[in-house]
Structure 1
Amino acid sequence: MFRARASWPDPHRGRSIVLVDKPPKGSDWAFEVKWDGYRLSVHIEPGRVRIITRGGYDWTSKFPAIVDDARRLAVQTAILDGEAVVLDDKGRSDFGMLQRALGRLPSAVEAGAIVFYAFDLLYLDGDDLRRLPQRERRRLLEPIVAGREGAIRLSEEVQADGEEFLRVACAHGLEGIIAKHVEKPYRSGRGGAWQKITCNRRDSFVIVGYEPSTVPRAIGRLLLAATKGDSLVYVGGCGTGWSNQESVKLRELLDTIKTDKPAVTLRRRGAVFVRPLLVAEVEYRAWTEDEKLRHPSFKGIRERSDDATVYSLDRGQRSG
């Protein structure tokens, strides 16, 4: 389950996307839909294609359709930055459906349903493009993937009023939008040149345990934590967002990493504690005054070792 880290070119550690409250204004900003999936880079090399996660793990075997389609692109070498998603019947990305397609949760969704939306181009036929402004990288990306209907597609970009675009995105049930400064180069880490504005609050929290359900072999509540300094702090439990079948599958997964040493200071009768190796994607309304999640709903899981998006109580936000 927890795979070894792959060796890969140092250049792409992934530009972080900073969460902000409102879309930026001005003609230097372009906007895209915020996709709800796994951030990946597709490395096209002579004789092979590799798919690498933000944490540097080789997930090539998980995305055979994307690998096959990448071989058809008219390039010798390239690195595409983008998001792997599964679309629902209304064309919206659904993280839960993606996890089911990857076999993490039970479903009839097949791996072939996964689509990679490319939104940046870091290398092309031996040239490092990261120093170029966003608009130039975009100009080089579009003829490679625009108009395709296969497993690799272009994440459409619009230049519009950000607040109006956000309003339309939220009205259509999307997670939010991404704003990108068209004059900025590509730099890994946090910087503010890429910003995300969400319709609802949604973040990642470390799973530190669970409470069993009254339903046999199922989970009643996940016990969640955020980071604070170098420690983990309990921020509440989440008991909604899954079917009974998914709950049983999730409990089976967590039971493989049980521990007698809780990662947080918490006394709760009947709780089962686990090693802090997984994070839960959670949608919620707000925070209580004592720093607990209000009305959280489970959306999916990720491996902590491959995800730099755990919510920080110090910063009051995450980057992703």
Structure 2
Amino acid sequence: MTKPPRKHSKPLLGEADALLRSRPRRRRDPHQPNLPLDPMPDRIEPCLALPKARPPKGDDWVYEIKWDGYRLAVHVEPTGIRILTRGGHDWTDRFPAIKQAALWLPVGTAILDGEAVVLDEQGRSDFGLLQQSLGGRGGKKSSSDAIFMAFDLLYFDGYDLRKSKLDERRRLLEDLVPAGEQGDIRLSEQIEADGDQLLASACELDLEGIIAKQLRAPYRSGRGGEWLKIKCIQSDGFVIVGYEKSTASFGGIGRLLLAARKGSDLVYVGGVGTGFNERSAAELREQMEKLIIGKAAVNTGRKRNAVFVDPKLVAEIEYRAWTHDGKLRHASYKGLREEQDESMVYDIE
């Protein structure tokens, strides 16, 4: 049995600035065209946000807070609920509260696109808290603390909405998940504001960043540029290809050696030696010990006291910028991504 609706969390963007407000909710047109029903997709590859340094300009863009969690698709089907990860893995049993909330949605069939998050005391999404609630990387626990922030509706009562404009999909979504409700499925509200001002406000509140979306764009799988992500601090997934030993560091890890994707290959992008604590370093060392190989999977240059590992682990890394020769600057270790999230490895264009 699911928990009662949660108490109203603290607002992320306060009322200090009148420009920062949710778009007014509009009822959808009740005169629906009498069209044949569309088959329900078994799975939809998600639309991915293209990273940009600054928010776009123009009235055809709307904004949302960038949530720091797991991308999910919630399928409301005639036979029940399915909750799929970005990579297509079935995690229905790992989010029982979200599943129950989906059963209560006033719809026969639907596919909701959104993010599973755990909020801290200030109402900010915290990826570390989400991982802990699931038992850590590779854990098998179910999370009753995670909620689903819905930001798109891809299928609705027999109709495939991917060719519809974003504002049309949002009107239907807001009928299913009204703004302001505090249950286990909530609406990721759109914010009308100047993009630069909103980004500054998000960074002041220690949020990860903002998402910009083209108001009249259809839903396209992949990174087509209709959605943009603008982060306060850059954070992406990189493959661990080895580490340098150190007797003075947690877990004996002086520095992780990292790689990014470039086409079908991996390319060395430098290392990271900060962000570890005693627990995270011990867990990471245990994972890497199982994957030791004799020769580096990528060219890391000459390294002293290096141990190379099979590139199976994906680390989430925060960083400020790139050097002129393609290495990470001011990098900090944030945590390990799940095996199902290997598609989140940074791709060098």
Where on the TM-score scale, by shorter chain, does this alignment land: which range?
A: 0.7 to 0.9
**Equivalent residues in 2 for 1:197-276, closer than 5 Å:** 197-214=230-247, 217=251, 219-266=253-300, 267-276=302-311
Amino acid at match of 2:113: D
Aligned to 2:121: 89
**Equivalent residues in 2 for 1:1-320, closer than 5 Å:** 9=41, 12-104=44-136, 111-146=143-178, 147-214=180-247, 217=251, 219-266=253-300, 267-303=302-338, 306-313=341-348, 315=349
Q: CA deviation at 1:10?
A: 5.3
Q: CA deviation at 1:295?
A: 1.6
Instruction: Give deviations 1:102-153, integer Å, cap 9, x for gaps.
Output: 112699x982221110000001112111111000100000121123312211
Q: Is the 8 A contact 2:107 2:157 kept in 1?
A: yes
Instruction: Structure 1 unaligned segments of length 5 or more: list them.
Output: 1-7, 316-320
Separation of aligned partners in 2, 1:275 and 1:159: 46
Amino acid at match of 1:252: E
**SS of residue paired to 1:280:** strand
Separation of aligned partners in 2, 1:44 and 1:254: 39
Amino acid at match of 1:18: L
Amino acid at match of 1:62: R
Separation of aligned partners in 1, 2:154 and 2:49: 16
Instruction: Give deviations 1:266-286, integer Å, cap 9, x for gaps.
Output: 343433322212221111122
Separation of aligned partners in 2, 1:142 and 1:63: 22
Instruction: Give deviations 1:29-67, integer Å, cap 9, x for gaps.
Output: 110001111111011112321111121111222212211
Q: CA deviation at 1:254?
A: 2.5
What is the TM-score normalised by the length of structure 1? 0.88
Amino acid at match of 1:14: P
CA change 1:167–1:206 in 2 (3 A) is same
Separation of aligned partners in 2, 1:106 and 1:129: 34
CA change 1:105–1:52 in 2 (3 A) is closer
Separation of aligned partners in 1, 2:62 and 2:220: 17
**SS of residue paired to 2:173:** helix
Separation of aligned partners in 2, 1:130 and 1:245: 44
**SS of residue paired to 2:293:** coil
CA RMSD of aligned residues (A): 2.3
CA change 1:191–1:10 in 2 (3 A) is farther
Separation of aligned partners in 1, 2:285 and 2:97: 30
CA change 1:24–1:248 in 2 (3 A) is same
Instruction: Give deviations 1:218-241, integer Å, cap 9, x for gaps.
Output: 533221111234321222221222
Q: Is the 8 A contact 1:206 1:304 kept in 2?
A: no
Separation of aligned partners in 2, 1:74 and 1:258: 51
Separation of aligned partners in 2, 1:161 and 1:216: 43
CA change 1:220–1:97 in 2 (3 A) is farther
Query: Which structure would you say has the larger Rg?
Result: 2
CA change 1:229–1:184 in 2 (3 A) is closer
Q: Is the 8 A contact 2:133 2:145 kept in 1?
A: yes
Separation of aligned partners in 1, 2:106 and 2:245: 52
Amino acid at match of 1:161: D
Q: CA deviation at 1:300?
A: 2.1
CA change 1:28–1:301 in 2 (3 A) is same
Q: Is the 8 A contact 1:211 1:221 kept in 2?
A: yes
Instruction: Give deviations 1:185-234, integer Å, cap 9, x for gaps.
Output: 11111221111111112222111122345368553322111123432122
